[in-house]
Every structure is written in C-alpha cells, then in structure tokens.
Amino acid sequence: MTNSDRIIVPLDVPDLEQAIALLDLLPEVNFWKVGLELFVSSGAEILGILQERQKKSFLDLKFHDIPNTVAGACRSASRYQVDLLTLHATAGRQALTAAKGAISDLLSPPKLLAITVLTSLNARELALDLKIPLELSEYALNLALLGKESGIDGAVCSPQEVAQLRRVCGEDFLLVCPGVRPSWSIKGDQSRVMTPAQALKAGADYLVIGRPITGAEEPKVAWTKICHELADI
C-alpha cells in the first residue's frame, strides 16, 4: 500500500450530485468517507456508487445509543458492504460488545471503529464543559482500550494521541486519524491537529483529510501536494 492509499477523503457535501462531482474530480482517491451530512440528505445510494467504482468506503455515522439499538444499526449498515463503520466508545462496553456480536456471523463484516474524543474538542472543553476529570490523552486511551477489550477492531483518534494508542493498543489495532491539517491549510473547527506526515509517522493507519482537499480552490492540486508530502516518509 502506498501512503496515498492511506488517505481517506470525506464526502462532506449536502447532496448526491456534489458527491459524484467530487468522485469525478478526484479519480485518484481510493478511499472515501460518507458521513452524517450526505447520508442524512441522500441515503445509501452513494455507497452503491462507490462499490460500482471499486472504491473503499467508510460509513461514519458514529452510532451512540443503547446496546440493542447500536447492534441493530451496525447489522443494518453492514448490508452496504462498507469497509469501516463507526460507533462511539462512550456508548459503553455492552453496546460495543453487542455491536461486534451483531455482525460476527457475516461473511465480510465491516471493521468497527470506536470514536474516542472528537478531534474538535480541546482539553479545556473536556474539563470545563464535559466535566471529564481526566487528562484528555488518558481519557482517549481509556476509550480506545475499552473498544479493544470489547472486540472492536480499532479507534478514531486525533493524531496527537495516536503514538500513545499505537504503543498501548498494539500493531493490529486499526488507528484512523481525522484532525489532519497540512501546514498550508487552516484548522477550521478542528482542535487537536498534526500534519499528514507527522500523523503517519506517529503511527496512524489511515488519515481522514477533508476540507484541505475538498474545500481547496483546486482539489486535485491539493491532493497531489499532500501525496508528495507523504511520498518519502
């Protein structure tokens, strides 16, 4: 796998037409993420289109509910043949275990990823607004370990925590990092960021890079620039 195959680009657009326009504009991208904005507006059609085009897909709906509901949602989402699927680690051990159990008899189930601490949050918000009495990195690690102990395949974490998670959770635990920003792009609402090269060197398996590419004046140029930055690491 080349380092550019480690980049997942989110289709964070309001409708199917704009999603297809991005697929057409960036045929080099092999791994796409479908999140809440597109799925809520347009449903699952995009997942069939990605399959037809032989692209890998990441369904990022971040399920967070009681165990029975999370398990049912994971089972239902599996029918779309996606490669990756997210649920919140904070749904708890029972929900995580039930989710894994609900798809374990399938022929090619998606890999389940536990969301740890959203990359938009900073330490101050975690402590003052969410009243979490732990260091952010410790909290993220605890959530990743809860996922691992519950049979979940990997975690979504910030690049700032990925080295620690890699060390503790091991090489086989899949680590996917959003909150990735090339030095030439703006952070926007992301808080805990690193550059693509830093995130890969720190141990990420995959990088989710959206607006620095899709919001660029010339997305193809931005994509190529990032691929060059990752070529020699």
Q: Are the C-beta atoms of 182 and 152 separated by less than 8 Å?
A: no
Distances (CA, A) of 37 to 44, 59, 63, 196, 198: 12, 12, 14, 24, 28
Helical H runs in the chain? 16-25, 36-42, 45-52, 67-78, 93-103, 123-128, 136-149, 159-169, 196-202, 211-214, 219-231
Residue span 210-229 as binding mask against ligand LLZGTKA7, x where in contact by CB under 6 A, dash where not: xx------------------
Q: How far is the CB of 190 from ligand LLZGTKA7 (least distance, A)?
A: 5
Q: For residues 176 and 205, what is the distance between their CA atoms, to the nearest angstrom? A: 6
Residue 90 counted as an annotated binding residue = no
**Measured from the CB atom, is 105 or 217 closer to ligand LLZGTKA7?**
217
Q: Strand, helix or coil at 86?
A: strand
Based on the residue annotation, tell me whether 201 is a catalytic residue of this protein.
no
Q: Is 10 in the site for ligand LLZGTKA7 (CB under 6 A)?
A: yes
The number of residues making up the chain comes to 233
Residue span 85-124 as binding mask against ligand LLZGTKA7, x where in contact by CB under 6 A, dash where not: ------------------------------x--xx-----
Residue 2 counted as an annotated binding residue = no
**Measured from the CB atom, is 55 or 211 closer to ligand LLZGTKA7?**
211
Residue 39 counted as an annotated binding residue = no
Residue 62 counted as an annotated binding residue = yes
Q: Are the C-beta atoms of 182 and 212 separated by less than 8 Å?
A: yes
Q: Give 134's Cβ-side CA count (13 Å radius).
A: 9
Based on the residue annotation, tell me whether 60 is a catalytic residue of this protein.
yes
Residue 69 counted as an annotated binding residue = yes
Residues contributing to the annotated binding site for substrate: 12, 33, 60-69, 119, 181, 190, 210-211
Residues annotated as catalytic are 60, 62, 65
Contact residues for ligand LLZGTKA7 (CB under 6 A)?
10, 12, 35, 115, 118-119, 156, 178-179, 190, 208-211
